[in-house]
Structure 1
Amino acid sequence: MVRVTSTDRRAALRAGAGLVAGGAFAGACSASGSASGPSSGASPGPPSPPPPAPASAAASAGPRPAPAPRAFPGQPAQISHGPRDRPRVALTFHGQGEPALAEALLGEAERHGARVTVLAVGTWLDAHPALARRILDGGHDLGNHTHRHLDINAMSETEARGEIEECALRLKRLTGSVGTWFRPSRTALASPLVARLARAAGYPHVLSYDVDSLDFTSPGAAAVTANVMREVRDGSVVSLHFGYADTLAALPAVLDELARRGLRAVTTTELIG
């Protein structure tokens, strides 16, 4: 078993810190139109107002809203994998931890032409709000992983509703959408109560997974790779985490091996749709 040393972890953090976070879309396009002057011989009056900006220019003046959740007819309320007849997989990341590692993981995925799904924790978005737009700018899915990442299935209805809605509120404020998916915290499957509360908050499906990398146990990069590749197949949804150097160290090998097997890493929305 190969373990990532403290030197490797520092190197991973330095590499992540070197990546520049994508900001909001910079589209401050203002229409420039000159008002017509007064006709010859007419007494001057107040200047005519400029013509209204075209709708396309107005739309480009700020960030585009993020995609909203979609209902997928024929899919169960809790989705653990996609179609088994297409060579695609979804790499899904629990969004929490050191932002430099998150940046590095996103950059590595993009260099391989992969798109991933990030289920963000609300308190993490509070601490690192620019990462929400960075994830979307990279073409990835962004969803809801509760506000504080506590055991949501053990909560009362009021507490569980607050965990879902507080994270949804932050996503809406940062991106214009509550996010594409909801994943419960500290559990692979939501209780019936939590699934009902997620639907009420705007998420038609709860996102689970069928492959667990166990990267949060810090088993070493080789073990993370082995855990993924041992179980992955057409349609798999893989559980991974931001915030772990082992995950960053394993990702190139995981993506290379997926490509060797003819499997393409896509967003969960693309996988299911």
Structure 2
Amino acid sequence: MTAAESKPVYELDAARRVVALTIDDGPDPKHTPIVLALLQQYGIRATFFLIGENAAGHPALVREIADRGHHIANHTWTHPDLRELSEGKVRDELERTSDLLHRATGRAPTWFRAPGGDWGSTSLKVAASLGMRPMAWSVDPRDWARPGTTVITDRVLKDVRPGAIVLNHDGGGDRSQTVAALKVYLPVLIDSGYRFTAPPT
């Protein structure tokens, strides 16, 4: 893996009118199925950054995400601040999650996202040694804070641009505002000529 590949990716090729939709903190038995149905309705492939503990509790949902053609990615086992962990603990967080996702889907994840975007040199080094590239984001509506459906929608539509990587959450709490915002902004982006992509594995 080159030095460039071990640095977080914040956006895709801005020359193309594409957006990458990324969904963090699942799988969640309430919200993930609704998100999957929405993505299917609009023909969108997304990247799901799954927490190992949640994936272990809902293996059928992990398989469904993969079976529907979405990318499965590593978001650690317990969602810690990786900057505060030893190299061994970081490796355990990432390796356990990758092993579980590989067993569940038959594919090893090739992307990793540090919780909170808090990378640190140790997690970047460990992820590279496990064959994963780090993916950040360029559009963060802070939907996890539940600021309201309209606020989430407005923040995405204001900040989105060609090549954007959009951050949303389907796990970690009540994500009904996020689901409602997706129902509003996905068709708006499609109507304005955006296509959705999952970054290459």
In which range does the TM-score fall when normalised by the shorter chain? over 0.9
Out of 241, 244, 264, the position equivalent to 2:195 is 264
Q: Match of 2:184? A: 253
Q: Is the 8 A contact 1:189 1:208 kept in 2?
A: no
Summarize deviations over 1:154-196 as a string: whole Å, max 9, x none: 11111111111110110111112221311111x2241111100
Q: Match of 1:161? A: 91
Instruction: Determine what percentage of the aligned residue pairs are the same residue.
Output: 31
Q: How does 1:219-230 map to 2 (within 5 A)?
A: 219-230=147-158
Larger relative contact order (Cα-Cα within 8 Å, sequence gap ≥ 6): 2
Q: Match of 1:14? A: none
Q: How does 1:1-273 map to 2 (within 5 A)?
A: 77-96=7-26, 98-185=28-115, 187-203=116-132, 205-243=133-171, 244-269=175-200
Judging by fraction of residues, say which structure has more helix: 2
**Distance in structure 1 (CA, Å) of the matches to 2:4 and 2:152:** 32
5+ residue gaps in structure 1? 1-70
SS in 1 for 2:123: helix
**Higher-Rg member (1/2):** 1
Q: Is the 8 A contact 2:17 2:162 kept in 1?
A: yes
For residue 256 of structure 1, what is the amino acid of its counterpart? P
**Distance in structure 2 (CA, Å) of the matches to 1:200 and 1:97:** 25
Q: Is the 8 A contact 1:123 1:148 kept in 2?
A: yes
For residue 165 of structure 2, what is the amino acid of its counterpart? V
Moved over 6 A (4+): 71-74
For residue 159 of structure 2, what is the amino acid of its counterpart? E
Q: Is the 8 A contact 1:211 1:228 kept in 2?
A: yes
Q: Deviation of residue 74 (structure 1)? A: 6.5
**Distance in structure 1 (CA, Å) of the matches to 2:178 and 2:103:** 29
Summarize deviations over 1:105-150 as a string: whole Å, max 9, x none: 1111110111111010000011100111101111111110000011
**Distance in structure 1 (CA, Å) of the matches to 2:23 and 2:123:** 20
**Distance in structure 2 (CA, Å) of the matches to 1:200 and 1:76:** 10
Q: Deviation of residue 96 (structure 1)? A: 2.2
The size of the alignment, in residue pairs, is 198
For residue 124 of structure 1, what is the amino acid of its counterpart? N
For residue 184 of structure 1, what is the amino acid of its counterpart? A
**Distance in structure 2 (CA, Å) of the matches to 1:198 and 1:75:** 11
Q: Is the 8 A contact 1:144 1:178 kept in 2?
A: no
Q: Deviation of residue 78 (structure 1)? A: 1.4
Deviates more, 1:215-224 or 1:74-83: 74-83
5+ residue gaps in structure 2? none
Q: Deviation of residue 210 (structure 1)? A: 0.7
